Amino acid sequence: MSNIQGGCLCGAVRYEIEGAPMGVGVCYCRDCQYATGGAQNYVALFPRTAFRITKGEPRRFTSKADSGKNITRVFCADCGTPLYSDPADGPMLPVKVGGLDDPAAVTPGLALYTASAQPWHLRHEGIPSFEKMPGG
C-alpha cells in the first residue's frame, strides 16, 4: 500500500507515514480540547518509526500529560495546525487525523478520556469507551 501523506493547512509542514494505523482514537481530554479549539481530538496511532517529516520544521510544546509523563505537541508555527503528539518514551505517535490528506480513510474505533468530555460533545455510539486510558 502507498504511504499516507499529510501536513498542515498552510503547507509549510508535510509528512509521510508508512503503512496503516494501528488504531484510531477519539480523545476527549482537556489538553486535546485546547488543541482543537473545543472539540474532541481524532488521532491515528502509528509506530514512531513509520513517521517522517518531509518538509518544514514544526514547533514543539511540551507539558505534563495526565499520566505524569511529558507529552510534546507538535504543530505548524505558521498556521497553528496541530500535527501530532510525541509522548516521552512512547513507541507510538498519535497523528491528528485532520492533517491527513484523506481523513476519510480512517475511522475512530476507540474513545479516550471520556471523563473529561463536555456535556455537549457529540459521542460515537458502539465503540469501546474509556474514562481515561485503557488499563489506566
Query: Which of the ranges 26-34, 45-53, 65-73, 127-135 carries the binding residues for Zn ion, by CB under 5 A?
Result: 26-34
Return the number of the residue (19 or 67) whose C-beta is nearest Zn ion: 67
Q: Does 17 bind Zn ion (CB under 5 A)?
A: no
DSSP string for the chain: -PPEEEE-SSSS-EEEE-S--SEEEEE--HHHHHHHTSS-EEEEEEEGGGEEEEES--EEEEEE-TTSSEEEEEE-TTT--EEEEEETT-SEEEEEGGGBS-GGG----EEE-GGG--TT----TTS-B-SSSTT-
The distance of closest approach from Cβ of residue 75 to Zn ion in the complex, given in angstroms and rounded to an integer, is 8
Sites for Zn ion among residues 48-77 (CB under 5 A): 76
If binding means CB under 5 A, how many residues of this protein chain bind Zn ion?
9
List residues binding Zn ion (CB under 5 A).
Answer: 8, 10, 12, 27, 29, 32, 76, 78-79
